[in-house]
Structure formats: C-alpha cells, structure tokens
C-alpha cells in the first residue's frame, strides 16, 4: 500500500512538470523578440490607418483641399496675424478663414446672380418660341463658322411655331425635373463640403505650428534627415502650384478683359472678374469668353468683334496654360519643365481638379527621393 502511494505521489509531479514544459513551449512559440513586436506594431498601425482612411473617405477630398490651402497661404496668414495682432490666435485664424471664404464664394455668387438675371429672358423666349416661333437673329449670319447650317436648323426647328412647339414638347418635363433635383442635391453637397473645408482650414491655421512640428518629427523618425527634405520639397511644390495658378489666372483674366473692353462686350468688368475666377478651373475661362463672344454677337455687336474676342481668349489661354503656367510652377517647385507639365495635366487626368495641385507635389516628391536618397548617396560612395 505504501509502495502504491509512493508511486502515485511520484507520478503526479511528473504530470505537472510535463504541463509546465508544454506551456513554456507554447509561450516560446509566440513572437517575443523586439523585431517581432515592432512588426506587430507596424501591422497594427497600418490597419488603423486603413480603417481611418475608410472611415473618412467621404471627407478626404475636403481635407486635402484644406491642407493645400493652409500650406499655400501659411506665409500670408503669418503676415496677416502679425499685423492684426501679436501673432497667430483663434481670432486671426477665424478672420483669415472668413476672408478666404469671401474670396472663394464671391465669384460663384456673381455667376449665379448673372444667370438668375437672365432667367426671365430665357423663360419669355421659350414662351414666345412655343406660341409664334422665333425669327432667325441677324447675328447668326455674322458668325465666322457654320453660320449657314445653324440658320437652316433654326428655320426648321424654331422659326415655324408648330415645329418650335413640337421641339419644346420633346423635352421631357420629368427628365428635366429629375435633372434639377439632382443638380440641387449636388449643389447642397458641394456647399456642405466647402463649409467643411473652411472649418478644416480654420483648425489647420489655428494649430498650424503644432501640426507641422509633429509632422516633421514623424518624418524624421521614419526617414531621418532625408524625410525633412522631402517634406520641405512637397511644401514648396504646393505653394508654387497654388501661387502659379492664381497668378496665371489673374493675368489671363486681365488680358482677356482688355479684349472685352476693346470689342465692346456688355458688362465687360463683370466678365473680366468671372474669367479670372474661372481661369483657375480646367476650361473654365473658355466658357467665360465664349459666352462673352456669343452675348456680344447676339446683342447687335459685330460678328468680327465677337470672333476676335474668342480668338484672343483662345490665344491667351493656350499660351498661359501650356507655357507660362508650367514654367512658373516648375521654377517655384524646382521641377524641370517636362515634369511640371506632366504633373499638372497628368494630375488633372488622374485626380480631377484636385490633381492640379497633387500632380506637381507627387512629381516634386519623386524628384527629391531620386536626388537625395538614390543619386546623391551613389555619388558619395563613388567619391569615397
């Protein structure tokens, strides 16, 4: 009996030891090294970043616009805050944001006002076309291109009251109402995103120095001194693109406005302001001076003068967009002409209007990586 107890007692510790050994083996199977923990942190950080981007996907465009404006306008904001107060504060950030909002909203409000002013004229014209038809206007015959074909279409569809009524009825009212509802919804969405961008701009201006220091510290820890150089190059590219776009748009608007005054375009000053504002958008100025040419021709002006307005606007825009603008952006961002050209127009094709600024920034970052991280170390190794 005592032998059995002894044997049983000797077996129990053996079982405990085997369990302890298996637990120790399981613990050792987990990643316990410093490199393994670092990899786990990187994976967790990437997952969190992906989730954050997915959560904020609907607001990323507005946030990027706010970041671009804050980066480009920061020197001007510092000067403004220094003159208005002792330095940046909540009040100066709010005042500067309201100034930016006024500059952005004023041209759009002016354009909407001009369209609303012409709304009654359009409604009366459509009513007259359905009741008695509309005669071919004299200015159509003075058009330099396709005047005869346009006059034939006008006689066939608008001069005859029956044909005009049938043509107007062919426009589906349900489709038109759906179009206006969709347009109204999009307009509200755009206004909300604009307000959100302005709110984000206010936050970035108020906390600009803190955010910039944290961003530089993160870049320095991740990439070293080369990371700070990359950030500086991207900031310079952003400011150069924004400043170049604004300067070129103002220059194009003023030059085309001179053409408005010489040709006698109605409301030439208003059209000049709209042209300069729309010149910041792709093909926006083309719509502005084309509308000015049509209004000049339809208002009893010379067809030759209207054609001159259009041709002068086309020449100014072609030279400004294809030569002056890439040169200014390339010089300020230290980009070769070809890379600046590809960054601007390739960015527009890839990202839309946002790519107008993202394209040169991406090209500047790529050039900085090639020069500072690859080309210069290779030269140093050869010299050593």
For residue 95, the model assigns a pLDDT of 92
Query: What is d(CA 163, CA 178) in angstroms, rounded to the nearest whole number?
Result: 25
Q: Give pLDDT tens digits for 138-149.
A: 656 655 555 667
- pLDDT interval class at 15 (50, 70, 90): very low
Q: Please provide the average confidence, as pLDDT, over all residues in the chain.
A: 75
pTM: 0.64
Residue of higher predicted confidence among 18 and 43: 43
Q: Give pLDDT tens digits for 170-207.
A: 555 455 555 455 555 666 777 888 889 999 999 999 99
For residue 183, the model assigns a pLDDT of 55
| Domain layout of the chain by residue ranges | 226-377
Residue of higher predicted confidence among 9 and 33: 33
What percent of the chain has a predicted confidence (pLDDT) above 90?
8
| Residue 350 pLDDT exceeds 70 | yes
């Amino acid at each position: 009996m005592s032998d059995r107890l002894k044997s049983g007692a000797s077996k129990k510790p053996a079982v405990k030891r085997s369990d302890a050994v298996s637990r120790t083996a399981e613990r050792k199977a987990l990643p316990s090294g410093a490199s393994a923990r670092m990899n786990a942190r990187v994976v967790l950080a990437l997952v969190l970043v992906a989730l954050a981007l997915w959560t904020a996907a609907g607001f990323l465009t507005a946030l990027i616009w706010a970041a671009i404006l804050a980066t480009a306008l920061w020197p001007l904001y510092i000067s403004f805050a220094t003159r208005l107060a002792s330095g940046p504060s909540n009040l100066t950030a709010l005042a500067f944001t309201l100034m930016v909002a006024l500059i952005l909203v004023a041209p759009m409000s002016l354009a909407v006002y001009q369209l609303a002013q012409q709304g009654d004229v359009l409604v009366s014209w459509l009513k007259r076309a359905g009741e008695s038809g509309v005669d071919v206007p004299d200015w159509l015959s003075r058009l330099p291109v396709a005047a005869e074909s346009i006059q034939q279409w006008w006689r066939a569809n608008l001069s005859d009251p029956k044909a005009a009524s049938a043509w107007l009825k062919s426009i589906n009212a349900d489709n038109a109402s759906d179009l206006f509802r969709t347009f109204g919804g999009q307009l509200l969405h755009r206004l909300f995103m604009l307000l959100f961008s302005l709110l984000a701009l206010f936050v970035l201006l108020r906390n600009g120095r803190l955010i910039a220091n944290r961003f530089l510290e993160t870049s320095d820890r991740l990439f070293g001194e080369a990371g700070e150089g990359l950030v500086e190059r991207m900031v310079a590219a952003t400011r150069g693109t924004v400043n170049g776009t604004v300067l070129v748009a103002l220059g194009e608007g003023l030059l085309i406005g001179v053409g408005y005054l010489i040709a006698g375009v109605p409301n030439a000053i208003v059209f000049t302001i709209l042209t300069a504002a729309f010149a910041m958008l792709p093909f926006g100025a083309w719509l502005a001076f084309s509308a000015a040419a049509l209004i000049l021709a339809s208002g009893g002006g010379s067809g030759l003068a209207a054609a001159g307005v259009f041709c002068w606007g086309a020449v100014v825009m072609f030279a400004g967009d294809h030569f002056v603008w890439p040169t200014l952006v390339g010089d300020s961002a230290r980009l070769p002409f070809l890379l600046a050209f590809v960054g601007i127009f390739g960015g527009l094709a890839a990202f839309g209007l946002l790519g107008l600024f993202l394209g040169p920034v991406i090209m500047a970052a790529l050039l900085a990586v090639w020069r500072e991280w690859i080309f210069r170390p290779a030269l140093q190794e050869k010299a050593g």
